Copies of this chain bind each other. A is one copy, B any other.
Amino acid sequence: MKDQTTRDHIIEAADRLFYQQGFEHTSFSHIAGAVQISRGNFYYHFKTKDEILEAVINKRLADRRMMLGQWEIDGDTPVDRIQSFINILLVNKDKIQLYGCPIGTLSTELAKLNHGAQEQANQLFTLFRSWLGRQFSLLGRDRDADVLAMHVLAHSQGVATLANAFNDEAFIRQEVRQISDWLAEIAGHCPKEQGQQQLSKKEQEK
């Protein structure tokens, strides 16, 4: 009870280390060292390493859900919100160049390990996929909303992978500019009345 903190510290450190070093390559000792607790003490909080992974995924899900929720508040139009997603590449450019995308690289690793938590990790992708799809629907692109959502998602993944490999910030900026233009074009061709309605609704809250 009192130690929600210790448990949270473990999850937090594991989250960071799984991102920086990968899941398999991160050992209990690594995490214990980061949290400054005894190695054996782990067993009290988590029975297995997979349990830590599960907790980390759930934390990431919660974090991203909160982020998307915030964008729903801040972004006045669906285009704004999709743009917020695209901008993750810029906001996190330094980390992406060092470690890639936290969601994509985890998903890739778990696929190779044929790990049972693959499905759970994919919920992270699904979360963004359906959220983006909803935004495109609001833009009046209901018919191909999912296709567009997957396209944006794939674009981010590709950019993150290559930015990581080449450690290239200029490339990130270039690609963000390009996909933003694409988004603006999409928006221009759309019957976007629905999006505007959302705008006025959300605008009151500020």
Contact surface of A with B, Cβ cutoff 8 Å: 20-22, 24-25, 98-100, 104-105, 107-109, 111-114, 122, 125, 147, 150-151, 153-159, 161-162, 164-166, 171, 174-175, 178
Interface class of chain A by DSSP = helix
Bound CA–CA A22/B24 (angstroms): 11
Contact B105 A112 (CB under 8 A): yes
Bound CA–CA A62/B159 (angstroms): 26
Which of B111, B147, B175 is in CB contact (< 8 Å) with A165?
B111
For A175, list chain B residues within 8 Å (CB): 150-151, 154
Instruction: Name which residue of chain B comes closest to A174, CB basis.
Output: B147
Query: What are 14 sample pairs from A and B whose C-beta atoms fall under 8 A apart?
Result: A24-B24, A100-B111, A105-B108, A105-B112, A109-B112, A111-B165, A125-B162, A147-B174, A150-B162, A150-B175, A154-B161, A157-B161, A157-B162, A158-B158
